[in-house]
Structure 1
Amino acid sequence: MRMLGRLLAGLMLALGLAAPVFAEDGYDLWLRFRPLAGNALSQAETRLGSVAAADAGSTAVTELTRGLTGLLGRPVPVAAGGKVLVGTADDPTIKSLGLDLSGLGNDGYVIRSVQDRTVIAAGTKTGLLYGAFHLLRLAQEQGPLTALSVREVPRIDRRVLNHWDNLDRYVERGYAGESIFDWHKLPDWQDPRYKDYARANASIGINGTVVNNVNANATILTRPWLEKVKALADIFRPYGIKIYLVARFSAPKEIGGLANADPLDPAVVAWWKAKADEVYSIIPDFGGFLIKANSEGQPGPQDYGRTHADGANMLADAVAPHGGIIMWRAFVYSHETPDDRAKQAYSEFVPLDGTFRDNVLVQVKNGAVDFQPREPFHPLFGAMPKTPLMMEFQITKEYLGFATHLAYLAPMWKETLAADTFRPKQGATVAKVVDGSLDGHKLSAMAGVANIGSDRNWTGSVFDQANWYAYGRLAWNHDLTSDAIAREWIAATFGPDRALVDPILSMMLPSHEAVVEYMTPLGLHHLMGRGHHYGPAPWVDGGPRADWTSVYYHRATKDGIGFDRTRKGSGAVDQYAKVWADRFDKVKTTPPELLLWFHHVGWQEKLSTGRTLWAELLYRYGHGIQTVSGMRRTWDGLKDKVDGPRWTQTAAFLAIQEREAQWWRDASVAYWQSFHGLPLPPGEKPPPQSLSYYQSLSFPFAPGDGK
């Protein structure tokens, strides 16, 4: 059979068909495992051609043989003496090798070349699964498979996806179709896609998923719905993934028949304890609850004059006997509009530092407003040393062009994780706060708001798959670079040919900065359309809350623009360590990228670039558009190297992105000129339409609004 395969390969070569381009739809994600060729195939055959394992039916062995079968183009046997040895620390064969397997925990693993064999060893079956996917990744990249010496232990304990999926399958801030969770058909019909979802998550180290929206419906805590959740938990378990649920704080009233949901009411305490016992009786390895409370109209402990700690601790006590955790979101703001919404979470949570139970994590967004294209790191990361803080990133691109704009988000996340809080001194990065190493917290976690939907390609576009991938890899190891993660993803998604990898990398790495420049340059923020957040709308004002409008944030006048958060303004700078507060308090020492986040600056004030603020804004808009134009040209040059369906969709989306980037520039310029009336700098073209035209545009059916 192998000889026949080689004869066919030779025939294809003679006919000029040796490197066929597969017609693909993106469903396989980065787990394509297309056949290797040449030296890469020869090396893989020599080092990975068969598998040996004491537990031949384990998920790790199943995934390893599945991947190798694709890469080698033939079935890979599991037999004694196999070239890849897979086993846990208590396996006699693994013990005999004398490998150092200490400190691997539940998820860690080692991969070693031992004589003519490749060994994957771990303390648990989950660790073996992660090791198997790591070895497959190495084979896909076509790097050397000899002299391997890999030791991996995740830096963060709980690596979780947050699905903002409603029970009717509508996805809030979702741009890839309906929810993949078909609750109406569960538990009886279990879509095979659920297993593929688990495989994809496990391959990048994600070990938890919250399957319902933070704006929760209490119904999911009723018995029939818990049976549906159990069906998912049973599918996910072999892949090391725990299920979590968002619990609506008012559930005792809504489904429990109680008069209130006061966390200090003994009847409420008893109800939650009984509910936790019920959940764990159905799903013994249930992870715990995520809570959004007293934010955007959601119920919470403040409704009864209680604190966030009162609410979190009551729930923590309910799940503690079962080993569960509570993830309590810090995205809060009061019913009354404060002087500066960016200060709200700090004001509410810092006084509570040290009062939360040991099994509570406070889940903090990367920035203090709301997943904007760029924000300074959230000041809470430098202000709560006695409380484990959990990072919340947004993978879905609510404010970054939805699924049609190419924006690789690893650089943005790395920017936040690498930020130095200077608490108590230099080197206290946000990453060290989140992984618990700075303050000695045993519990650590990271959440990513998922971008996954029912679209065949999972995320609405091929390049949005890269953000799901990058989130998982950074949650596992935040020291990985954006470049390294992108190279892995490109090799697995399109192939390891440098003629593909290098140009695609040149598109991805500057893409996030390009979006920032054509949407919200120099620290501007929250300028998107009302509600749906689609397109430019810096003119939005009025409505129920000032801090739901654009004008609240940009504060443009005839004389200048920007939110004054200095000590003479809202004072938000003093929520940071003194070294940052002093720097942010002055225009000249504030990084240009955050200038208008912290300062109200005159239109004609000269910046460090040598340009006036007005000219600098125009330059940034234009540079962002030029970057997108360059991305389009690069992609056009890859037409013969990428399969037709994925190339065509991406080309169409890049065209949309370029057109909408220009729209962002033109609409914004027209609006800013309505304030100051300044002429455009030389070489800058005026907007092709009037301001009233841009203001008249309406998008009532834009996706993901949640209403």
Structure 2
Amino acid sequence: MGRGLVNRLLRLCAVIAALTLPGVTNAEDGYDLWLRYAPLAEDRAADTAAALGPVLVVSAPTPTIAAARRELERGLAGMLGGHRATGPGIVLGRARDLEGDAAREAAPLDGLPPGAYRIARLADGRVLIAGNDDNGVLYGAFAFLRHLGSGEGVSAIGGTSAPVYPLRMIDHWDNPGGPVERGYAGRSIFDWWHLPDHLDPRMIDYARAEASIGINGVVVNNVNAKAYLLEPRYIAKLARLADAWRPYGIRVYLSARFSAPMEIGGTGTADPLDPRVRAWWKAKADQIYAAIPDFGGFLVKANSEGQPGPQDYGRTHADGANMMAAALGNRGVVLWRAFVYSAEDSTDRAMQAYNEFVPLGGKFADNVILQVKNGPIDFQPREPFHPMFGAMPHTKLMLEGQITKEYLGFATHLAFLAPLWKEVLSVDTGRGGPVAQTIAGMAGVANTGSDRNWSGSHFDQANWYALGRLAWDPSMSSEQIAREWAAQTFSRDPAFLAEVVPMMLGSRQAVVDYMTPMGLAHQMGTGHHYGPAPWVCDLARPEWNPCYYSRADVQGIGFDRTATGSNALAQYAPSVASRWRDPKAIDEDYLLWFHHLPWDFRTRSGRALWPELVHRYDRGVAAVDAMAAKWSTLAPYVDGQRFEDTAEFLAIQQREARWWRDASVAYWQSLNHLPLPLGAAPPAHSLEWYQALRFPDAPGG
């Protein structure tokens, strides 16, 4: 009997068993995300109702505080089920508006950054939810519901929390007509055609979701920006969004095309030192702020992948960024992307951003922030941290992560990305501490779309959630984030969490193993980045070719980035470079990123490099099989629709993990002419079969 049929029979039996259990909903579509506010167990609901009570708002009912109250009442109504809260009540408000015992309990908020909140029990038994500003009140309300929704009792909920970073952002790569670049969840959620006259109610649910995880800024359009988005008709559309999101603490930002003054302003040039260009940007910023007083600022992709920029005029990135920053003044910020690479630059692609930006350290205006990808290439399943982190102490940097899984199996592969971001945030740069201490904020490239479940797959919601939680507090563990999300999204049952949380925590490593083990990178198909294509070597730009990154031949495999190769290793602090210089000492997850090694190089497992590679591919495939088998036992805890959706996607992942393993192994064998290790299964098809596959309709282009 085939594996697929066995899996389907197991799922059917599990679903039938689940339908006989109380408390499991027949179907949900995922629209409510982690804000489902599912009813508590009967005894817990009764106890919670007795401990709570009506919400007393002690501050003026601003739109934000009104939103906080609505959310509390909505969440409690859902979780308490048919129980009516009869306890002492909930006090909700700004710290400065409190008196007596409540004021004393809120005192720890004094001096904390904007958005901080405190939850405490007052002497009379009431629950206090206080913020040091309106947004803090809103975040506190969401936090209280998060604790309840994760299964905590009222008496256990308390403490003070403040955001570590002032900028906690989501970047959309949405195009005005509806397509989403690298989006795998349908079309754009932004209905620009009907704005400003009509606001889709989904925009409010989107804002609720962002606020619930502490996001306070949203870039609404693709970094490959269109100049016409700066025209008055689009400013009016953006203003309608800004008005709708303001009560949820969200400022709108816009990706701006650097050549806009020339394209829509008639300046004839976009030279950042030209007075006409500087005047145009100043007038444009004034026009935007007249419509949106709290406009966040511009995100700019310049001189990368063919986009216009200051280098077109012999100017530097600092010249371009500072010109736009001067136009904004102290009203907003310029987020200048450090993702650059050029067809005319023969330097190792991993080195180009460092080479262009680090010499400009200290030359950027105070309201310029360089937005730096987590690694030096491009959102790969695993990369070493970007060498710019820690190397520019006099310039503000923020970390850019990709929530949408362009290189990790799109929306169908289960890959929880908190461990990826934690690897980066926690690593010591050798220049002033861990990455988390060298940045001013975090931005995540969105995975949201028009699909009812927002993210294409139910588990991809967890990555949106994780980015927000880490941007609020980068010290959170991946396990804590996974447990919070799973409890609110699926089930609070400890038995369910004991199974699904470890599954999530191991999922990203599984993807690394079956796609790009041991430091390999960028082995994906051309353009769409779907599936394996390590054999591609003939594209116009060297760094577009997977062969560029593997450097595989009959002698060995890997990219030499030591002093005998590109010397990219020299861009890292000496203490870091010394750990990675020796192939026998380096963490083998980065081995082939920094070293070109013979196929018989002896790894720490005792295996030669070739059998170790095959072992890791097989380990990744086995991990996905284990996830699918585990999920098949969890139907009693999950509604039928979301259980089956996830099971079907895991079946896709099982098939595609084998495709990745077999195609990769077949290609490496064609180069090294080595036999498979003893016991390893041969690829299911010939190399030519895999090379002939074409995917002109792959999503996300």
TM-score bracket for this pair, using the shorter chain length: over 0.9
Per the alignment, residue 422 of structure 2 pairs with: 414
Given the alignment of the two structures, is residue 458 of structure 1 paired with residue 464 of structure 2, yes or no? no
Structure 1 residue 504 displacement after superposition: 0.9
Structure 2 partner of 1:153:
162
Q: CA RMSD in A?
A: 1.5
Aligned residues: 676
AA paired with 2:590? L
Matched AA of 1:188: D
Q: Does 1:282 align with 2:262?
A: no
Q: Residue in 2 aligned with 1:440?
A: none
Task: Tell me how far apart the structure 1 counterparts of residues 52 and 526 of structure 2 sit (CA, whole Å).
Answer: 54
Bigger relative contact order (CA 8 A; separation at least 6): 2
Show the counterpart of 1:582. Answer: 578
Where do 1:245-256 residues align within 5 Å? 245-256=254-265
Are the aligned partners of 1:52 and 1:82 in contact in 2 as well (CA < 8 Å)? Answer: no
Task: Tell whether the 8 Å contact from 1:58 to 1:125 is kept in structure 2 after alignment.
Answer: no
Task: Check 1:309–1:196 CA distance in 2 against 1; reply closer, same or farther (3 A cut).
Answer: same
Which residue type is aligned with residue 367 of structure 1?
Answer: G
Letter in 2 for 1:465: Q
1:555 aligns with 2:556: no
Indicate the residue corresponding to 2:93 in structure 1: 87
Q: Among 211, 219, 225, which residue is 1:216 paired with? A: 225
Matched, 1:191 2:195: no
The equivalent of 2:689 in structure 1 is 693
The residue number in structure 2 matching 1:571 is 567
Please say if 1:203 is aligned against 2:212: yes
Aligned-residue offset at 1:75: 8.7
| Contact 2:189–2:448 under 8 Å retained in 1 | yes
Shift of residue 140 of structure 1?
Answer: 1.0
Cα deviation, residue 501, structure 1? 1.0
Partner of 2:41: 37
* Counterpart amino acid of residue 56 in structure 2: A
Cα shift readout 1:68-97 (whole Å, capped 9, x = no counterpart)? 1111125978x9x95110011232447753
Deviations 1:327-380, CA, capped at 9 Å, x for gaps: 000001123142300000000001100000001100000000000000000000
| 3-state SS in 2 of match to 1:537 | coil
Q: 1:613 to 1:179 in 2, by over 3 A?
A: same
Structure 1 residues 117 and 96, CA, compared in 2 at 3 Å: closer, same or farther?
closer
Following superposition, the deviation at residue 382 of structure 1 comes to: 2.4
> CA contact under 8 A between 1:507 and 1:631: conserved in structure 2?
yes
SS at match of 1:327: strand
Q: 1:103, 1:74 → 2: CA distance?
A: 41
Instruction: Give the Cα separation in 2 of the matches to 1:473 and 1:22.
Output: 30
Q: What is the match of residue 633 of structure 1?
A: 629
**Which residue of structure 2 aligns with residue 437 of structure 1?**
none
For 1:333, the equivalent position in structure 2 comes to 341
Q: Is the 8 A contact 2:521 2:549 kept in 1?
A: yes
Alignment partner of 1:53 out of 57, 61, 64: 57
Q: In structure 2, how many angstroms separate the alpha carbons of the residues matched to 1:249 and 1:509?
A: 40
Whole-Å Cα distance in 1 between the matches of residues 577 and 299 of structure 2?
Answer: 32
- Whether the aligned pair in 2 keeps the contact of 1:557 and 1:675 (CA below 8 Å) is yes
387, 408, 429: which is aligned to 2:395?
Answer: 387
The one-character-per-residue Cα deviations of 1:503-529 (angstroms, maximum 9, x if unpaired) are: 111210100000000000000000000
How far apart, CA to CA, are the structure 1 residues paired with 2:317 and 2:697?
Answer: 36
Distance 1:702 1:125 in 2: 44
Q: 2:484 aligns with which of 479, 483, 488?
A: 488
CA contact (8 A) 1:514 1:627 kept: yes
1:210 partner amino acid: V
- Residue identity matched to 2:670: S
The structure-2 alpha-carbon separation of the partners of 1:269 and 1:653, relative to structure 1 and needing over 3 Å to count, comes to same
1:293 aligns with 2:302: yes
Q: Is the 2:169–2:442 Cα contact (8 Å) retained in structure 1? A: yes
Match of 1:141 among 137, 150, 172: 150
Q: Is the 8 A contact 2:101 2:122 kept in 1?
A: no
Shift of 1:627: 0.5
Query: Per the alignment, in what secondary structure is the counterpart of residue 311 of structure 1?
Result: helix
User: Is 1:117 aligned to 2:134, yes or no?
Assistant: no
2:650 to 650, 654, 659: 654
Any idea what SS the aligned residue of 1:597 has? helix
- Stretch deviating more after TM superposition (515-524 or 18-27): 18-27
Q: d(CA) in 2 for partners of 1:376 and 1:201?
A: 29
User: 1:529 & 1:96 partners in 2: Cα distance?
Assistant: 59
Of stretches 581-590 and 362-371 in structure 1, the one that deviates more from structure 2 is 581-590
Counterpart Cα distance in 2 of 1:486 and 1:148: 19
Distance in 2 (CA, whole Å) between partners of 1:184 and 1:75 is 44
Matching residue of 2:81? 73
User: C-alpha deviations, 1:5-60, integer Å up to 9, x for none?
Assistant: xxxxxxxxxx9874242420000000001111233212311222321113466111
1:481-630 to 2 correspondences below 5 Å: 481-630=477-626
After the TM superposition, which parts of structure 1 deviate over 6 Å for at least 4 consecutive aligned residues?
none
Please tell me whether the aligned partners of residues 33 and 489 of structure 2 are also in contact (alpha carbons under 8 angstroms).
yes
Letter in 1 for 2:647: A
- Gap change, CA 1:228 and 1:482, over 3 Å in 2: same
Using the alignment, how far apart are the partners of 1:386 and 1:660 within structure 2? Answer: 45
CA–CA distance in 2 between the matches of 1:455 and 1:23?
16
Instruction: In structure 2, list runs of 5 or more residues that go unmatched.
Output: 1-18
Q: Distance in 1 between matches of 2:222 and 2:462?
A: 23
| AA at the equivalent of 1:344 | Q
Equivalent AA in structure 1 for residue 174 of structure 2 = D
Which one of 234, 244, 261 corresponds to residue 243 of structure 2?
A: 234
Letter in 2 for 1:83: G
1:641 CA drift (Å): 2.2
For 2:379, the aligned partner's letter is: F
Give the residue type in structure 2 aligned to 1:430. Answer: V
Assess if the C-alpha contact under 8 Å between 1:163 and 1:211 holds in 2.
yes
Q: Deviations over 1:166-200 (max 9, x none)?
A: 01110000000000001111111211100000000
1:165 equivalent in structure 2: 174
Structure 2 residue matching 1:279: 3-state secondary structure: helix
Contact 1:410 1:467 in 2 (8 A): yes
Deviations 1:522-544 (A, max 9, x none): 00000000000000000112222
1:664 aligns with 2:660: yes
Checking the alignment, whether the CA contact within 8 Å between 1:47 and 1:84 is kept in structure 2 is no
Partner of 1:429: 434
State the one-letter code of the partner of 2:553. Answer: T
Aligned to 2:188: 179
**Structure 2-normalised TM-score?**
0.95
